[in-house]
Amino acid sequence: MLLTTALLGLAALAPADTIPKRFSLFPLPVVYYTPETRFAYGAAATATVRFRRDAGFAAARPSQITLGAAYTQNKQFAVYLPFQVFYNHNNYYANGELGYYRYNYYFYGLGKNEVPRELFGVTFPRVRLNLFRRIAPQLKQGTLYAGLRYQYEDYDVTSVVADGLLASGTVPGGQRSRLTGGGVGLFFDSRDNLFYPTKGAVADVRTMIRNKAVGAGLAGQTTYSDRYVADVSSYHALHEKLILAVNYYASFTVGTAPFNAISLLGGTRRMRGYYEGRYRDQNTGLVQTELRVGEYKRLGAVVFGAVGVLGDGETLLRLDAPKIAYGAGLRFVINRRDHLNLRLDYGLARQSSGFYLTIGEAF
């Protein structure tokens, strides 16, 4: 979610020490803008930790834990704790998030059944845990991890449009659902830079098996579903200051999952220009590219485009009905050491547009 990017991105603003400290704590402001929230304001504190076991290992990556809170112009509220932990010479890697949200969103229907937008309110706690162990250390380039995943989310819909689709009781999870489940995954990373790669690739492939959703059925019964996701990005230096970034994303849902847990298009990372969740269906596929022009006195620029499709149990992906989005943006380098950028994007799509101000690249 966006707040994860904002908090972990801001954590990199801490100044570098000649000799890195084993523990550092930094208070940070949080400010961002998206179509889903409008302006958001808050504060965070980030702890950076280096374990004693990794003393003397130059390639050891620092672990980070951030606690933050934000309030938006749309009267949304979030308390959020994202973390990433590296241990024992980067052989163990854990990441995830703990959070509580009081939010409102627009709902546009499911699959081919589109409806005029309906505003609904929701509160939910969220737990996501990913535990990885490095495998295949003989790889000449990149690092490959394999591990376990767990998620929990109690999605309580607190308000709906009286005569809308969510109020009809025909949408799985349209009134409430409690989702729990686990799975396995692979994570590969050969990027030369975490925040602004110029070469290499990163891949996150995961499956969540037999997720249990209490109250997600049309009559409130317990349902089960599997979800398979692949998120792969590659980076290519066309010139010293011209980078082509390409992202491939696919998500497939099998079984009956609540509407908030199926595949979607739109948002700050995929299909900028469309509202997050503007399209929801069992399956989605997406290709997006971004041409990044290097900075001149800290200022850079990008142009981007994306094509996405949706599908269901009858048609895996409806390739004859693509969704298209495109746009351009500016970048301002706020941390030269790590090339961390302030991102200002404007996306355009069919009868839709969006303005985005946040930290870090979309992919």
Rg (CA), the chain: 20
Domains of the chain, by residue range, sit at 2-359
pLDDT of res. 160? 96
| Digit-coded pLDDT (tens) for 291-303 | 999 888 899 999 9
| Digit-coded pLDDT (tens) for 189-202 | 999 988 899 999 99
Report which of 183, 270, 269 is spatially closest to residue 227, judged by C-alpha positions: 183
pLDDT at 130 over 50: yes
pLDDT at 15 over 60: no
pLDDT at 162 over 70: yes
**What is the band of 62 on the pLDDT scale with cuts at 50, 70, 90?**
confident
pLDDT at 4 over 70: no
pLDDT of res. 18? 46
pLDDT of res. 6? 52
Measured between alpha carbons, how far apart are the two ends of the chain, in Å? 13
**What is the band of 335 on the pLDDT scale with cuts at 50, 70, 90?**
confident
> 120 or 22: which carries more pLDDT confidence?
120
3-state secondary structure of 251: strand
One-character DSSP codes across 133-181:
EEE-TT-SSSEEEEEEEEEEEEEEEEE--TTSTGGGT-STTSSEEEEEE
pLDDT at 17 over 80: no
Q: How far apart are CA 356 and CA 225, in angstroms?
A: 33
Top-level CATH class of 2-359?
mainly beta
What average pLDDT does range 21-47 have in this prediction? 92
3-state secondary structure of 17: coil
pLDDT at 275 over 90: yes
pLDDT at 332 over 90: yes
Instruction: Write phi, then psi, for 6 (nearest 5 degrees).
Output: -65, -45
Alpha-helical regions (H) of the chain: 2-11
pTM of the model: 0.90
Maximum alpha-carbon separation in the chain: 64
pLDDT at 287 over 80: yes
User: Is 146 in contact with 192 (CB distance < 8 Å)?
Assistant: no
